[in-house]
Chain A
Amino acid sequence: MSELFHRKLERSAIGFVIAIIAAASVGGIVEIAPLFTIDETVEEAPDMRLYTPLELAGRNIYVREGCYACHSQMIRTLRDEVERYGPYSLAVESRYDRPMLWGSKRTGPDLARVGGKYSDFWHVAHLNNPRDVVPESNMPAYRWLARTPLRMDDLPRHLAAQRALGVPYTEEMVENAARDAYGQATPDTDFASGVTERYGEDTTISAFDGVTTQVTEMDALVAYLQVLGRLTDAAYQNTAATEQPPEPED
């Protein structure tokens, strides 16, 4: 009977196409659509701050270099992971992440909470040549980051695109994006104070790569790495973890 039905179906190209679309659509609709409608999917985190323009630029370097191929940013709800990396990751922590960088492979360790774990100096040395700091490492050397100036003139466009997608950047943040990126990497300038004004007192202002004469891609990437896991305290409040957010060493 069902075989007879199928013999009919496979005589019609259009019928077959419709049947394929129908069969293949169900799973995605059932699994994806509710993620937007069920409120518990993403936790509340009123204290959560936004990526500064410099951190966003650093994130885009992380994206560009394909760091996700070896580093996850998703601590699973397993005891050994929580003890190794810190409280397990919450959905809210990546609510502004486009794309998400949860990763699928750990050739290197998870980075979801690497922010503040090492000094800026350590990160710069490590990115310049990982084997100077961790002799056993098989990570590539990223020396050229420190000699590549960061492109900042298009940062307002980056923030505007994010804003169009629902990230709550203000008009003022968009307008000042390039200045704020410069200011965050050059402490003791007039530009630096604007960053904390707009993004909060907890924002790290630092000469990330140790040089203030030029803002490089190294500045941006280190600024991003240092903010990983520190946009919100939600993970420390909502879980049974005993640890507190670490303080940066410098």
Chain B
Amino acid sequence: MLANLTSLERQYALMLAGAVALAGLAMAVVGRSDVLGVHGVIVMVFGGGLAWLVMASFYGPEPTDDRTAAYYDDPIKVGIVLSMAWAVFGMFMGVWVAALLAWPDLAFDAAWSTFGRLRPTHTTGVIFGFGGNALIATSFHVVQRTSRARLAGQLSPWFVLLGFNLFCLLAVSGYLLGVTQSKEYAEAEWYADLWLVIVWVTYFVLYIATIARRKEPHIYVANWYFMAFILVVAILHIVNNLAVPISWGQAKSYTIWPGVQDAMVQWWYGHNAVAFFLTAGFLGMLYYYLPVRAKRPIFSYRLSILSFWGITFFYMWAGSHHLHYTALPHWVQTLGMTFSVMLLVPSWASAGNALLTLNGAWHRVRDDATLRFMMAAAVFYGLSTFEGSFMAIRPVNALSHYTDWTVGHVHAGALGWVALITFGSLYTLVPSLWKRERMYSATLVEVHFWLAIAGTVIYVFAMWNSGIIQGLMWRTYTQEGALAYSFVDSLVAMYPYYIARAFGGLLFLIGAIVGCYNIWMTVRAAPLAALRSDAPVQPAAVPGE
């Protein structure tokens, strides 16, 4: 890990890790009568562990002088490993919470194992752990290759990657300990949120500085999306998480936003976490790895521009469709619905652009499961964005809201789009990064593909069925004009679908484990690739340098 760092940078790394450990110690002391203290210990162990890792190879050989002649890939490799580890953890928690809904006694008689505490470990684990690490890793890769420049920092990529994982660790362990803001997808408490701001600003500066070094006149489209992802997530995160802690020694805080305004801010955040974390960033992946794998240029530059600005502008209006028929003023609901429907245009522009890029490469889609992962992702992206626009229409939402249909929709996007594009990208990236000829086993990629597709389809169909049945049962009247079903009647009708859903999720989890094994074996045992040129453009010597 440290082979690329000079001894001075290793000293800085040690100081940084030491500072984190000290901050942890301070948290542990100040928060000793609160769960904050437990988090202090976790931070201390994290910082101490990193310091120990740095010490272990502190006196290793210095990097050669020409390290800038190569891309900086070490943090990307670690990011991929972390991403896959979080995938297995997050998806396992997903299967567990899914099973809890069918068999509620599949828990321990302890606070940490109840559905309410486990559920955010699943969402945070997959969205931030799996998705976030994959985004950081691929964005580091894409920005270097498309700019033909090395990352603009030696230590900062490590700070971003490991700092982000510390945030994820604090968030997930916090839920189990009962530390949460109960703001959906923004559950982590104030100190973790503050830490993420520091990490994220570093990420932004690093990214922009790397782009500023580019040897290409134009910024490639994938980088537009990664920039939008980094920038807008920062805005959303800061605004939604503004809060007043009850004391510096306690984890609990109160958000500054009350009631109806909090609802609007929360769903402005929540929906755009979908837009800029789960869509923009992954479109960045799509716009790089799909054309690379298909060996075809992007079909249309104009469609890329249209969809990028459409998504960046329209999405920010759409959050209020989560609040149809609620106490949120009607005019905001209407705006949200209108922009959600309009969003279909830029969304399908991207999906169409991706699929049309494959024209002339369909034989590769047939033969290459990696490319098929990305093709299927584009299809699911198209399907779930259509579904999303449809569900945002008020009368449709009257039926779908509060039901499993929403859960099905989210998973069509999260499994079908986000996870599939990530696996396709990682299967493209891993061999090239570790300089292997190919993945260890093409058959296992194929197996993973079909497990993932089967899991997604079973999951989504189960939730469509349960959601629509649930919504209809709630609004069914008898001939006498009374409600036909009690709430419990509708719950009883859900059980078969909850079992099916847990099974679909299990297939998807098994697929991810197969993927982990395949990546591990690729790094260990796949044949080395013949040397190809994969290096940044060297700056011409400038007088005085």
- The interface of chain A, by Cβ under 8 A from chain B, is 3, 6-7, 10-11, 13-14, 16-17, 20-21, 23-28, 30-32, 35-36, 38, 40-42, 60, 62-70, 72, 74, 76-78, 80-81, 83-84, 88-109, 130-131, 134, 136-144, 154, 157-158, 160-162, 164-166
A-B CB proximity, top 5 nearest? A66-B116, A27-B316, A94-B259, A27-B317, A76-B325
Which B residues are closer than 8 A to A by beta carbons? 100-102, 104-105, 107, 109-111, 114-117, 119-120, 175, 178-184, 187, 208, 211-212, 217-219, 224, 227-228, 231-232, 235, 239, 244-247, 250, 252-266, 268, 301-302, 305, 309, 312-320, 322-329, 332, 335-336, 339, 398, 401-404, 406-407, 474-475, 477, 483, 487-488, 491-492, 495, 498
Neighbouring B residues of A139 by C-beta, 8 Å: 104, 115
A contact residues around B232 at 8 Å (CB): 20, 24
Q: With A69-B115, A105-B406, A106-B402 in contact, do A154 and B258 touch (Cβ < 8 Å)?
A: no
CA distance A159 to B99 in the complex (A): 39
Number of A-B residue pairs, CB cutoff 8 Å, is 255
* Known contacts A65-B116, A165-B258; A20/B227 CB under 8 A: yes
Contact A67 B116 (CB under 8 A): yes
In the complex, the answer to whether A72 meets B104 with C-beta atoms within 8 Å is: no
Which of the residues B218, B235, B302 comes within 8 Å of A10, measured between beta carbons? B218
B326 and A74 contacting across the interface, CB-CB below 8 Å: yes
Partner of B208, one of A7, A17, A26, A69: A17
Residues in A whose Cβ lies below 8 Å from that of B109 = 141, 143-144
- How far, in angstroms, from A142 to B406 measured CA to CA in the complex? 27
Cβ–Cβ < 8 Å partners of B246 in chain A: 154, 157-158, 160-161
Q: In the complex the two chains form, is B327's CB within 8 Å of A90's CB?
A: yes
Q: Which of chain A's residues have a CB closer than 8 A to the CB of B329?
A: 35, 38, 40-41
CB neighbours (8 Å) of A7 from chain B are 218
Contacting A100 at CB < 8 Å: which of B116, B259, B324, B492? B259
With contact pairs A84-B474, A100-B260 given, residues A140 and B219 touching in the complex (Cβ less than 8 Å): no
Q: Which of A13, A35, A36, A91 is in CB contact (< 8 Å) with B219?
A: A13
B245 lies within 8 A of A161 (CB) = yes
**Contact across chains for A31 and B332 when beta carbons are under 8 A apart:** yes
Q: Are B259 and A91 in contact (CB under 8 A)?
A: yes
How many Å lie between the Cα of A11 and that of B259 in the bound state? 44
Q: Which residues of B contact A35 (CB under 8 A)?
A: 260-261, 264, 329, 332
Q: Flag if A76 contacts B483 (CB, 8 Å).
A: no
- Indicate if the CB atoms of B114 and A99 lie closer than 8 Å: no
Minimum CB–CB distance from B62 to chain A (whole Å) comes to 32
User: B228: which A residues are within 8 A, CB to CB?
Assistant: 20, 24
